[in-house]
Chain A
Amino acid sequence: MHLELPSKVRPTFSVLSYHPREPARGYHVVKRYRLGRDSCLRVASDVGGTFTDLVYYDERSGRFGAAKADTTPPDFEHGVLDTIHKAKLDPSSIEYFAHGSTVVINALTERKGVKTGLVTTRGFRDVLEIARGNRPDLFNFYFTKPKPFVPRHLRAEVSERIDFKGNTLVPLNLGELVPIVEAFRAEGVEAIAVCFLHSYANPGHEQQAAQEIKRIWPDVAVVASYEITREWREYERTNTTVLSAYIHPIANSYLTSLEQELRAEGTRGQLYIMQSNGGVATMETAKHNPITMVESGPVSGVLGAIALGQLIGEPNIIALDIGGTTAKCSLVDRLQPRVTTEYRIEWSRTNPGYPITTPVIDIVEIGNGGGSIAWIDSAGSLHVGPQSAGAVPGPAAYGRGGTEPTTTDANLITGRIDPEYFLGGEISPDMDNVRKAFGSLAARLDSQIDDVARGVIRIANANMVNALKLVSLNRGHDPREFTLVAFGGGGSMHAAALAAELNIPRVIVPVNPAVFSAWGMLLTDLRRGYIRTRVTRLDSAAPDDVAAPFAELEDAATREFAADGIDGDRLVLQRFADMRYKGQEHTVKVILPTGTIDAHALSDGVDRFHQAHEREYTYRLSSPIELVNYHLVGFGLVPKPELAKLERTGRQAEAAMRGRRSVDFDTYGVHTSAIYERGLLEPGMDIAGPAIVEEPAATIVLLPMQHATVDEYGNLHIELQ
């Protein structure tokens, strides 16, 4: 479907008629001289487990547009190109292309990466399996620890040793790599991770080993730990490297194909990849280190939620993104996302999970989306997910060979999704296939199809409630003080019931929720982080000792941003210092002022640390202070579009009503529900539940005791009556 915006034909998206803010000084001039007069499109593209979304902004007309296509595994780039074609964009007009993808996280959680081998220091192949030995499920004596991504027979050791100072104790024996690589090849390994002890201090052996492996077997993917992280702690670094290798061939060939296809179609503009840290990186950087994309899709949704919160004055937000494969949520406290460097996939109160040591906006993700498959375990209990039918074969309703019942199918049976308006009316659901899929479940449960469909939705909702609790209640935040921003293809379908369950007072369904993550990406600045570990005792350091490392980082940042055409006012550099009292291990991050670092600035930094430590931990010490990490974050500011307020004609909600049909609201009963067309809504309209609001790529469910109003930008606010 093509969602040209704004358009009289597709009134749904008329609300997306934004006007650009005054562009930043010099920006367009620079870009246009380099790329030609036609380069005027800023495009954001987001590959989800089921759908691929595109949002674009035309600088000439000041208009937004969007398109959506199926995600096309294993060649995900085809889905991206499909959205460009559907939107009828001229690829040669693209001056800025930002891309996010769940390709990496899906490959990890569904264990669909490649067979991976590990080369490590002799004596230490079991570091990956021993992990940290911890058991968060304290009283479970029947605990099962997570299985490593590389089994023991594919974990090889070589003779080499470097000490913590970076000195070589045992030289690397490259000759040992030949039989190892041959054994890996015979086993069908497709990627090799290399991680040696203390390589953060001296990556020499890792570099040599990686080169030698490439020499022996040029076609294999090789990832060495120093390329990903220069932090100590061998298990975390090894696991990060292994997971990087595991997804490397998939992510790399994907990014390469994407780049080639875009270039082949004439795109000359900059290609950027959304990073987990909330910024974007160049294509080259991303290809080298694709694990940093691990949360790239979800992160842009959180940034979108923050931008929306800023616009409408909602500082406390829980962002909920339900796609085809997963549901993700993240808490935004006073417009600040939580960024963590202690990211773990599959972590929970009972599961140690798998660490990935790359900075990530804190997001909780569970395997529950529209395409999640309902199944019955050996004890006869019904489960939903985490396996997903994806886009191919997709839910049973797609009639593309999918025989398993999914959450989307359950929403069709209950009447929440209109069969006549399935995927915007683009395809007609195969209801016979849906009933067949649920029929076999119902037979095994000795139940009725309708009851099973309700049960599937209830279980999916309970799973999502738990995820929402993890980011709110379990971290001491009261959901009653937050607003739920629901997006993704399925967010608005479930949000009302989840909010009712958690007493969240308000749900906001943004304009065009299905492509909200991609919209968030258009609002993302370029971001690069630079960290150097250099332990400096501040009681004996001269100002120059501290100024010099920052100067190095600032030079590097200025150079790299200049290559992207970013300088002057558009380059913002922020200094941070990770500091601690001598003897402590963990540090407190302190913001340092810009400008000259002199004795006064230094003592100011020390004061800030004392204050921060006392604020966080209630006391200060007279111990010497160490500056451990010099941390610089560079932002390349991009001009951001501004939303226009919508006109109101004073029409009432009835004018947007398309009809009525019977809808099953589970515990809230079966009701003849009013059906509204979202594209016909305008500010000031008030809709009483029970109701369904439909738009081409999303369905909004209002429970009987709820009502919804339309704000001046077209966002729908659902509240308790």
Chain B
Amino acid sequence: MATTLVDPFTIEIIKNSLVAIGDEMFYALQRTSKSTIIYETLDYGVAITDADGRLVAQGNGVPLFIGTLDAAVNAVRDKFGVSGQLRPGDIVVTNDPYGGGGTHLSDVSLIMPIYHEGELVAFVGNKAHWTELGGKDPGSWTTDSTEVYQEGLQFPNVKLFNQGEPDEALLDLIAANVRLPDMTLGDLWAGVAALRVGERRFLDLCDKYTRDTVLVAIDSLLDYGEEMARQELGRLPKGTFEAEDMIDDDGIGNGPFPVRVRVTISDEEFVADFTGSHPQVPGPINNTRTGLASGVRAVFKAVTNPAIPANGGAFRPVRAICPDGTVFTAQRPAPVSTYWETMLYATDLIWKALAPHVPERLPAGHMLSVCGTVLAGPNPDTGELFLLVEPLVGGWGAGHDKDGENGQFCVGDGETYNIPIEITETRYGVIVDQYAFHTEDGGAGEFRGGKGVVLDYRAVGDGTYLTGTFGRHKYKPWGMNGGHEGSPNFIKVIRRDGSEEGPFGKVARLRLEKGDVARLVTATGGGYGDPRRRPRGRVLADIRDGYINVEQANRDYGVDVDATTVAPGIVQEPST
């Protein structure tokens, strides 16, 4: 590496330019995608690594892609780079869950090497949730698969482009194996567009500041990330912290599964050891090693300084330990299509272990689950298959000085946007009857857990199928310091004749007929502190706002309110 002396100001500019390149790639992918899960939900990430595969910058999307893209780049380097098989303009596609930065098959990574004047200088990559990738169920991920072969098309780290030219055979193969080829190939092209924008901008940067200067700046950026992370590490409490929890079930009748962590923090290292967690399970909730690394990285950033640049340097002190073959580190051919639910448990376990010691950065437990659903069926106007794939917002836990946030996506999502109801109803065969906070019991505290929501989808035509995976259905969000635990996530079906089915934590391909309602309800977050310490005025205000009801005020908060003396709210409570 050149030892050019680069002034700090130039480094600052290059650093910000790299972040801006990430933003631009991110934007390009969003603007050109044909899937709502990409252009509205933003379920994707973009990254730049250096030639050695070290993460330099990652574009906003979802935080739990934070361990995946550099791993994917390294898999590409191992397979093609070492043997000298990479060329300018090559693009490699991979979604291998068990190695190479994969999570589940739906998250597809595209990786492109960047050459400046013939020298490999960097990689750009993106990983996006492609809505349809074949497999046994529409939308590809499901809650009752038993091996990965049921979960979609596998891309075992293969070249999609050779020196700028697409492999038409591979494109045809993809088109033939997915249910919505136009949408899937649209997502593919969106990813390619983002890579090319990134390549162009990175080369501009090299031309402008010289390649050596850019590389020096990247080195210094990584060192800066590490230095900042180490300083923050120094401020964390030292010692060993433990937590355990239970995962509800695996979707096909097994469970619950105990999981545990032992976090050891020293001046040098942040080690999360998941030894002792349950072995991999028959249903598709299994997480993989890449997902585990991401889950640990995300919470490490949360307890240190969220503003530290998310680069490889910042993660040098972080280590995850776990034997192979656990529910966190499943091996082929274990089904993994809802891996994220268990990845989030890895994050949540560390969170739960550290929250009492870092209360200014970690509130009580939140709904945790992505609460992902797939609605699939014929569009009532066109008869074409529609696919609605989306996460759902819910309640966050209360903190030591504030109520929990109402209606936010779980921490596994990030710059993730809910799909507007007006778009949902236009594109998919459903009517939304309500999208509102509920007053299920749970989350009481001196500081109250944030509110979960109830979302009702009413089927417009016959033969609409619902698949959903709502974790923390049996084991609810945890409270802190005397605060109550939150309410559960659940799914219910109300048939047109008024009969009810559920509540469920997980469903697969539940058939809805015209007029049936799928009711999705997310958790209220855990409370913080004894609810009886909550000032009466705030309890009365909560009643007026309809965040809690009179019964809860009396029972949980010990505030004696006569239902008849409370001015009726402007609207009724939503039904759950």
Chain A residues proximal to chain B, CB less than 8 Å = 122-127, 129-145, 151-157, 163-164, 169, 180, 183, 197-198, 200, 232-236, 350, 469, 473-476, 478, 503, 581, 583-586, 613, 616-619, 621, 623
Q: Which of B193, B453, B571 contacts A156 (CB 8 A)?
A: B571
Q: Which of A127, A151, A155, A469 contacts B16 (CB 8 A)?
A: A469
Interfacial chain A residues near B190, Cβ < 8 Å: 617
Query: Are B571 and A617 within 8 A (Cβ)?
Result: no
Query: Are B545 and A476 within 8 A (Cβ)?
Result: no
Q: Which of B310, B409, B545, B570 contacts A133 (CB 8 A)?
A: B409
Within 8 A of A (CB), among B46-98: 60, 62-63
A-B contact count (CB 8 A): 202
Interfacial chain A residues near B262, Cβ < 8 Å: none
**A144-B12 CB under 8 A given contacts A123-B433, A136-B60, A585-B33:** no
Interfacial chain A residues near B9, Cβ < 8 Å: 503
The closest CB in chain A to the CB of B366 belongs to A141
> B546: CB under 8 A from chain A?
yes
**A124-B421 CB under 8 A given contacts A141-B363, A154-B570:** yes
Query: Are B20 and A474 within 8 A (Cβ)?
Result: yes
**22 examples of A-B residue contacts, CB within 8 angstroms:** A130-B393, A133-B408, A134-B415, A135-B409, A138-B63, A138-B415, A140-B302, A141-B302, A142-B360, A153-B546, A155-B570, A155-B571, A157-B571, A163-B431, A234-B420, A235-B420, A478-B17, A503-B9, A583-B186, A586-B32, A617-B32, A619-B196
Q: What 9 A-B pairs have minimum CB-CB distances, sorted nearest first? A: A123-B434, A476-B20, A130-B407, A618-B196, A139-B301, A133-B393, A139-B306, A138-B414, A583-B34
> B521: CB under 8 A from chain A?
no
Chain B nearest CB, measured from A52 CB (Å): 37
Query: Are A584 and B362 within 8 A (Cβ)?
Result: no
Interface-central residue, A125, A127, A473, A618, by most chain B CB under 10 Å: A618
The closest CB in chain A to the CB of B355 belongs to A141
Interfacial chain B residues near A581, Cβ < 8 Å: 34, 186
When chains A and B are docked, how far (Å) is the Cα of A141 from the Cα of B431? 33
Main secondary structure of the interface of A (DSSP, over half): loop
Query: Are B31 and A617 within 8 A (Cβ)?
Result: yes
Query: Are A180 and B574 within 8 A (Cβ)?
Result: no
The closest CB in chain B to the CB of A179 belongs to B570
Interfacial chain B residues near A478, Cβ < 8 Å: 13, 17
**A618-B197 CB under 8 A given contacts A124-B434, A153-B545, A156-B571:** yes
Chain A nearest CB, measured from B354 CB (Å): 10
Residue interface mask B552-576, A partner, CB < 8 A = 1: 0000000000000000011100100
Query: Are B435 and A124 within 8 A (Cβ)?
Result: yes
The closest CB in chain A to the CB of B31 belongs to A586
Interfacial chain B residues near A476, Cβ < 8 Å: 16-17, 20-21, 24, 201
**A139-B310 CB under 8 A given contacts A153-B569, A583-B34, A617-B28:** yes
Chain B nearest CB, measured from A350 CB (Å): 8
Residue interface mask B301-321, A partner, CB < 8 A = 1: 110001100100000000000
Query: Are A135 and B362 within 8 A (Cβ)?
Result: no
When chains A and B are docked, how far (Å) is the Cα of A152 from the Cα of B196? 46
Query: Are A138 and B547 within 8 A (Cβ)?
Result: no
The closest CB in chain B to the CB of A502 belongs to B9
When chains A and B are docked, how far (Å) is the Cα of A151 from the Cα of B541? 11
> B286: CB under 8 A from chain A?
no
The closest CB in chain A to the CB of B34 belongs to A583
Query: Are B407 and A126 within 8 A (Cβ)?
Result: yes
Chain B nearest CB, measured from A193 CB (Å): 14
Interfacial chain B residues near A234, Cβ < 8 Å: 420-422
- Inter-chain pairs besides A138-B415, A153-B544, 18 sampled, C-beta below 8 Å: A122-B434, A123-B434, A124-B435, A126-B435, A130-B407, A130-B418, A133-B416, A138-B63, A139-B298, A140-B302, A141-B306, A153-B569, A155-B570, A474-B16, A474-B20, A476-B21, A616-B31, A618-B193
Interfacial chain A residues near B197, Cβ < 8 Å: 617-618
Interfacial chain A residues near B36, Cβ < 8 Å: 585
When chains A and B are docked, how far (Å) is the Cα of A608 from the Cα of B53? 39
Residue interface mask B343-367, A partner, CB < 8 A = 1: 0000000010000000011110000
When chains A and B are docked, how far (Å) is the Cα of A399 from the Cα of B238? 54
The closest CB in chain B to the CB of A151 belongs to B545
When chains A and B are docked, how far (Å) is the Cα of A475 from the Cα of B23? 8
When chains A and B are docked, how far (Å) is the Cα of A621 from the Cα of B166? 13
**A133-B417 CB under 8 A given contacts A126-B435, A232-B422, A617-B32:** yes
The closest CB in chain A to the CB of B299 belongs to A141
The segment from B243-251, B398-406, B530-538 found at the interface with A is B398-406
Chain B nearest CB, measured from A583 CB (Å): 4
Query: Are B545 and A124 within 8 A (Cβ)?
Result: no
When chains A and B are docked, how far (Å) is the Cα of A135 from the Cα of B34? 23
> B423: CB under 8 A from chain A?
yes
> B189: CB under 8 A from chain A?
yes
Chain A nearest CB, measured from B300 CB (Å): 9
Q: Which of B40, B192, B306 contacts A138 (CB 8 A)?
A: B306
When chains A and B are docked, how far (Å) is the Cα of A164 from the Cα of B421? 10
Interfacial chain A residues near B172, Cβ < 8 Å: none
> B385: CB under 8 A from chain A?
no
Interfacial chain A residues near B402, Cβ < 8 Å: 144
Interfacial chain B residues near A233, Cβ < 8 Å: 420, 422-423
Residue interface mask B409-438, A partner, CB < 8 A = 1: 101011111101111011000011111110
When chains A and B are docked, how far (Å) is the Cα of A146 from the Cα of B54? 35
When chains A and B are docked, how far (Å) is the Cα of A125 from the Cα of B573? 11
Residue interface mask B179-202, A partner, CB < 8 A = 1: 000110010011011001100110
